A and B are shown apart, each in its own frame.
Chain A
């Protein structure tokens, strides 16, 4: 059969293209254009708000990869991701399994309670948590002291050894509800017949979950992990409000590093948008690489 020319195909589908047009324009304006400009800015020596901008090629990239604070922040971002995502996935799954049980009458109540931090403004949570973890009259320390778990208050957010785990803990608590919801959605795709058939075949308890339910929800798990991993790399508002990356860079993740170099310097000298863009592009590519790897893993798992 003779294939229609491309122009004819486009003309025939003109209504489809028309409907796609608004979305394409918006994507172009708010996604493609900023990405393109950030690539361009990364090649400039530019503060971001003066007229003077000098083209310097890849010098910003060279400087970034030779900056120990860049790599520290880079690694810290992944520590944050690897420290929070598994906890959220496992905890979220366990909670979802319990709350998916139809017999549990208070399930909607617990779901709401666990989901509540998700809908609370993150900046508010960040600020409130600085008071919660304050070593002076903070409820966390009061509890630890009153139960004799510690003899002196702990400076959770001021101690370089405890600051990142504390922020990670708050992050897990804040977003656990959404992970639970993902898992609940996944579990609710398992037909009741499967549970019934498994019971008839004598599969109960952990066997039911390991051998029957888990293989069914595994493709969902990969998607959830992907979403969670990308989410854990975007933690700017929480860290900025809780620690601003301190003390002495102990909680500085990549987004804080980029923000600091793009907009704010400690002593008020000119910021460096060009350099920050280079760091951002480098970081974006790294995240893209991880996402692609996860995508490949997902496809492989589906084939299995």
Chain B
């Protein structure tokens, strides 16, 4: 006969429970010390609602997701709420968020689809300002480096609608390589920036050494933005100076305000990709895999090189800790010196608070904490170079080593702040809202050239360039018809020195 288990509750257990319950009821919020975990989450600056609730949060995942999944349970427990987190690729964010906004079910905190003008989100009433939910917001904002919070970018009508915890000083097309395969091919990317010829030769040698078991180079080719990212950044390194961001910044040379898709540097970059294919160095099947799938094949030994972002570092560190890889700057065309890359002012990974959200006090409390030095150190320690924390002091104190530290120093060396037309004239935001990337986009043109469905690199890029020019002209025209005070001259920055940061004083000179 089974012996019935006796329920024994010690006096100490009862006291512990009573203490916890009493603390919960009396404080209105739960002191974080009761939930001591990996993070020391401070008490909120003012009492939070005691009603609890569920906060829904969506962003583009990757290493952000790794961090949030560690922090959210602790934060939620300390505040007596639950947090539902969805970390999804940008491709999914671009689909889900617009539909969710349309049907009124968007998450409490979300990221806007890539390239979407934030001014539209504010004007349409999809988002609400953080000002009411972040205590002493002016003091909090003052702790961020200058240029992160800007009118027309994340601040509108004197209020802060978008919060940035991360810097945008990074590229998504670094050379990431297998140390073993690369050294067997006789190359060391750490010795200096590799040229296109060297990349091609290394890819050939790796493929030859692989004998059908592995290949020189891989890319997530069915994720079309990868093609555009590579050509854009390589083109910049080659000397096609241009902006980064959405349609109204990307590929535009701010010295003359014109798209430079048909520039020699872009053509050389496309040719490099086509040569990798014609050499037989490309992994077979790149057209049927997305970027995360291609990334996942690298530690499995399927390829020697991939042009990807620093977000791979954390993922590989977690999934393949023993795999030896290196990170280096993007290659440079033969006989040329690498040119700077440019980012627009502002941060990255901007978080927006849904206008319908009732979880603002909790979201604001969490964002406020993440903007403090301690929050930024926590962020940097987990996310590393994948999405660098925006506070440089915190990054320095995070004690990063290895590829993360190397990537950050590489970005600091290679990237400058370039002009941003929307900072100069907020009506550029209206143009952005009217803009439509023409069909086929540059990303698709490169994909079509790679698959052989399109012929003639020069002719295709020239056509594409003209389509982009026409599309921007049309958007400017439509914006002007709606009363916007904007012309194509707003994209011309004659005082842009391509070898120095474009700061506030430069805008004043215009």
A, B in one complex: yes
Shortest CB distance A140–B (Å): 11
Determine whether the beta carbon of B437 is less than 8 Å from that of A49: no
Q: In the docked arrangement, what's the CA distance between A257 and B116, Å?
A: 20
Q: In the docked arrangement, what's the CA distance between A299 and B17, Å?
A: 78
Q: Say whether A42 faces chain B, with CB atoms less than 8 Å apart.
A: no
Query: What are 19 contact pairs spanning A and B, CB under 8 A?
Result: A69-B440, A153-B285, A158-B221, A158-B451, A159-B451, A247-B447, A248-B440, A248-B448, A249-B444, A250-B451, A263-B98, A263-B99, A264-B94, A266-B224, A266-B225, A266-B441, A268-B114, A269-B436, A270-B435
Binary per-residue interface labels of chain A (223-259) against chain B in the complex, 1 for a CB within 8 Å, 0 otherwise: 0000000000000000000011011111000000000
**Chain B residues with CB below 8 A from A248, complex form:** 440, 444, 447-448, 451, 453-454
Q: In the docked arrangement, what's the CA distance between A49 and B453, Å?
A: 34
Q: In the docked arrangement, what's the CA distance between A172 and B437, Å?
A: 35
Determine whether the beta carbon of A159 is less than 8 Å from that of B287: yes
Determine whether the beta carbon of B102 is less than 8 Å from that of A158: no
Tell me whether A135 and B95 are in contact in the complex, defined as CB-CB below 8 angstroms, given that A267-B247, A269-B247, A269-B436 are known contacts.
Answer: no
A interface residues, Cβ below 8 angstroms from B: 48-51, 67, 69, 130, 133-136, 138, 152-153, 155-160, 243-244, 246-250, 263-272
Binary per-residue interface labels of chain B (92-115) against chain A in the complex, 1 for a CB within 8 Å, 0 otherwise: 001100110110000000000111
Q: In the docked arrangement, what's the CA distance between A182 and B289, Å?
A: 37
Q: Which 4 A-B pairs have the closest CB atoms?
A: A158-B287, A268-B115, A135-B285, A268-B114
Checking B120, B288, B302, B441 against A267 with a beta-carbon cut-off of 8 angstroms, the contacting residue is B441
Checking B102, B222, B435, B440 against A244 with a beta-carbon cut-off of 8 angstroms, the contacting residue is B222
Determine whether the beta carbon of A136 is less than 8 Å from that of B443: no
Tell me whether A136 and B102 are in contact in the complex, defined as CB-CB below 8 angstroms, given that A266-B437, A266-B441, A269-B247 are known contacts.
Answer: no
Binary per-residue interface labels of chain B (425-450) against chain A in the complex, 1 for a CB within 8 Å, 0 otherwise: 00000001111110111011001100
Q: Say whether B509 faces chain A, with CB atoms less than 8 Å apart.
A: no
Q: In the docked arrangement, what's the CA distance between A205 and B82, Å?
A: 69
Q: In the docked arrangement, what's the CA distance between A80 and B113, Å?
A: 32
Q: In the docked arrangement, what's the CA distance between A268 and B99, Å?
A: 13
- Chain A, interface SS category: loop
Determine whether the beta carbon of A268 is less than 8 Å from that of B94: yes
Q: In chain B, what residue has the closest Cβ to A155?
A: B285
B interface residues, Cβ below 8 angstroms from A: 91, 94-95, 98-99, 101-102, 113-116, 120, 124, 221-222, 224-225, 228, 246-247, 250, 283-289, 297, 302, 432-437, 439-441, 443-444, 447-448, 451-454
Determine whether the beta carbon of B287 is less than 8 Å from that of A155: yes
**Chain B residues with CB below 8 A from A135, complex form:** 284-285, 288
Determine whether the beta carbon of B284 is less than 8 Å from that of A268: no
Q: In the docked arrangement, what's the CA distance between A248 and B451, Å?
A: 8
Q: In the docked arrangement, what's the CA distance between A268 and B433, Å?
A: 11
**Chain B residues with CB below 8 A from A243, complex form:** 222, 288
Q: In chain A, what residue has the closest Cβ to B449?
A: A248
**Chain B residues with CB below 8 A from A263, complex form:** 95, 98-99
Determine whether the beta carbon of A267 is less than 8 Å from that of B287: no
Among A51, A69, A249, A266, max chain B CB count under 10 A is at A266
Q: In the docked arrangement, what's the CA distance between A169 and B306, Å?
A: 32
